[in-house]
Amino acid sequence: MAEICKMKFKEVNDRIIKLTLSLFLLNFSQLAVAQVTQDSISLSLEEAWNRANTYSKEIRLRGLDKEIGKENVINVKRQRLPHVEVEGSYGQLSNIPIFVDGIRNDAEYIHLEDHTTYNAGVQAYFNIYNGNKTNLQISEAETRQELLTYLEEETASAIHYRVAEAYLDMQRSMEFKQLILQNIERNEKRLDQITKLYENGVVLKSDLLRAKLQLSRQQTNLLEMKNNVELATQSLNILVGFEDEQPIKPVDSIQVNMLKAEQTYRDYVNDALEVSPRSRIAEKQIEMRELQEEELKADKLPRIGLFGDYTYSYPQIQLYPYETAPYLLGIAGIQLTYDLSALYHDKHKEEAAKIAVERQKLEQQNTEDQLRKGVKASYKHLQEDLEKIEIAKMNIDQAQESYRIVNQTYFNQLSLLTDLLEADTQLLQAKFELVNNRISARLHYYQLLKITGEL
């Protein structure tokens, strides 16, 4: 009798502990939900992209590069203006030694009456023709500016995709968390039923232990999902400029029905090859190589320009007879320059530039190959995900029916608890797969938009 009382007391104690723990978890969950609801920020994916455009450091860096490019274009255009220099000097002349008997013997000196010398002048040069090199440099600067614009677009597209990854990862973890909470609630109810059956001697203690273990596993999974939500939220917060711990409530649905009515595969390929930033970057890089080749050819052409040089100096020792007096000397005219050494110095440079153009064209072809591969992979994966979604829905219906049947047969003592727990796990897994497939479909869709330059 004492042993029976002791066992009854232990069982009652276990039930009290379990009930206390359940109440604690329930209160904690309600408190956590209330806190998140109070402090969380509702955010759509479109709003997240807009914030990333403002707060992303990588996009801002590309923007600054583009501003530098604008200034470089203006600077190169200013090279068409005349080059003007002013100069001035002041000094003291020494007496002039004359080595009558050679430099090894003492010199005789010519003593100057005034040792002062100074001059001030202005020089100007206006380019008329330099082999069209200035125009080529302007075209190169403008092409580089366009290249920087496309690089900024590519960076923005990449950041948008990373934002979508973090946003969808957060949504996945939140969906998993809700499914686990529902499963925990179902496990708790089942555990209560099994506990009553055990107390009445209907089921074995092993069933009770298995049910408790199943509940403990799901509670551990719940903790993992909570951590995953926090990690994904932090990643998203960094990208969109929020504080690390700022809770976010996603408002976009994970449904993917609207993706079925999008463009065809051929449309995506055409967009990738014609309007995507990567395709335009490859085109501009070829243009820059061609302009650099033309600049080297321009070095072999003559340069013609107007020049002027006006100098105010003292004393007058430029022309004979000399005078100890200030004088003004001015000269203006046209200047023709031709660099003969460019005929042999630039020969191999031109060959290297020509090869660089061919290499860049081959690089463009490689880029197009990669774009087509990326489009096809993303498009096929998207279609595959859409098929998996339909299959997952059917799996859920089947798993729910299987769980219902096994649940009834178990409590009618016609099946084992292991069968019931397996059916429960399969139902949860089927729901996980549906969420995973929906998230995967959206992610592949955004990947497709990123490749085609539409994200």
308-343 confidence digits (pLDDT tens):
998 988 888 777 777 788 888 889 999 998 888 887
Question: Could you tell me the residue range of the domain that residue 90 belongs to?
Answer: 82-98+108-129+308-337
Q: Do 206 and 144 belong together in one domain?
A: yes
What residue type is 434 in one-letter code? L
CA angle 301–306–311, rounded 5-degree value? 135
How far apart CA 19 and CA 6 sit, in angstroms, is 20
- Asked if residue 274 and residue 183 are part of one domain, the reply reads yes
274 in Cβ contact with 287 (< 8 Å): no
Q: What is the pLDDT of residue 259?
A: 56
Same domain, residue pair 314 and 417: no
Q: How far apart are CA 211 and CA 14, in angstroms?
A: 14
**Residue 173 lies inside a defined structural domain of this protein:** yes
Residues 6+ apart with CB under 8 A from 358: none
Q: Are 231 and 417 in contact (CB under 8 A)?
A: no
Q: Total domain count for the chain?
A: 2
Same-domain pairing of 89 and 237: no
Q: What would the mean pLDDT of 368-395 be, rounded to a whole number? A: 91
Task: Give the model's pLDDT for residue 267.
Answer: 86
Q: How confident is the model at residue 274 (pLDDT cuts 50, 70, 90)?
A: confident
Examine the domain organization and report whether 164 and 246 are in the same domain.
yes
Instruction: Specify whether 323 is located in the same domain as 389.
Output: no
Residue 435 scores a pLDDT above 90: yes
**Residue 26 falls inside a structural domain:** no
The answer on 383 and 313 residing in a single domain is: no
Clarify whether residues 437 and 409 are in a common domain: yes
Quote the CA–CA distance of 301 and 306 in Å, as a whole number: 17
* Coil, helix or strand at residue 420: helix
Name the residue with tokens 């042999």.
344
Residue 16 is assigned to a structural domain of this protein:
no
**pTM of the full predicted structure?**
0.79
Nearest CA to 214 out of 40, 357, 12, 422 is that of 422
Q: What is the CATH number of the domain that holds 446?
A: 1.20.1600.10
Residues 136 and 207 in one domain: yes
Residue 22, in any domain of the structure = no
* Residue of 38 and 438 predicted with greater confidence: 438
> Quick one: average pLDDT of 241-246?
88
- Best-predicted range by mean pLDDT (23-27, 73-77, 252-256, 406-410): 73-77
Return the closest-CA partner of residue 36 out of 229, 193, 180, 206: 229
Q: Which of 2-6, 120-124, 396-400 has the lowest mean pLDDT?
A: 2-6
Residue 15 inside a domain? The answer is no
Q: Quick one: average pLDDT of 261-279?
A: 83
pLDDT band at 234 (very low <50, low <70, confident <90, very high): very high
| 222 and 259 share one domain | yes
Is residue 181 over pLDDT 50? yes
For residues 232 and 143, state if they share a domain.
yes
In a domain, 18, yes or no: no
Distance CA 234, CA 166 (A): 9
Q: Same domain, yes or no, for 367 and 377?
A: yes
- Asked whether residue 189 is assigned to any structural domain, the reply reads yes
Would you say residue 12 lies in a domain? no
